[in-house]
Structure 1
Amino acid sequence: MTVALCWGLVGVHAHADFLRDSHADMSMRNFYFNSDNRDGPAKPSMIEEWAQGFLLDYRSGYTPGVVGFGVDAMGMLGITLDSGRGRHPGSSMIPSDGDGAVNEWSRFGATAKLKMSETELRYGQLMPKIPVLVASDGRLLPQTFQGVQIQSRELKDFTLMGGALDRATGRAPTDRTGLAVSGGTQQSNRFYFAGVDYRVDKSLTLQYYTGQLEDYYTQNFLGLNHSWSLGDVGSLATDLRYFRTRSDGANGTAAGRSQGYVTSGYTADGDGEVDNSLWSAAFTYRLGGHAVTLGYQDVSDNSNFVQINQGSIDKGAGGSSLYLWTDKMLLSFTRAGERTGFAQYAYDFAAAGVPGLKASVMYLKGDHIQTGSGAEQSEWGRDVSLDYVVQTGTFKGVGFAWRNGMARSEAARNGDQNRLIVNYTLPLF
Structure 2
Amino acid sequence: MSTETSATVPTPAHEPSAGDPHTAHDRLRTDLARIWGDVLGTGPVDATADFTELGGNSLPAAQIAARVRTRLGTHVSVAELFEHGTVTALARLRADRPRDTGDALPPVTPAPGDGPLLAPAQRRLWFLDQLSPAAGTAYNVPALTRLRGPLDTTALDAAWQDVVDRHEQLRTVFTFTGGVLHAEPTDSRAGLDLVDLTGHPNPYGHGLRAADERAARLGLPVKSLFLAAHARALAELTASERTVTAVQVNGRLEEPGSDRVLGLLLNMVPLHLTAGGTWAELAGAAFDAERERQPYRRYPLAALLQLTGGGTPLFNVAFNYTDFHVFDELAALRAISPRDWWFSDQHSFPLMVEITRTPHTGRRALAVTLGAGSPYAATGARLMLHALHAVAADPHATVSPTDSPTEVTEPRR
* Superposed pair shares fold, TM > 0.5: no
| TM-score, structure 2 normalization | 0.24
Higher relative strand content: 1
Q: Which has the higher contact order (CA 8 A, sep 6+)?
A: 2
Higher relative helix content: 2
| TM-score, structure 1 normalization | 0.24
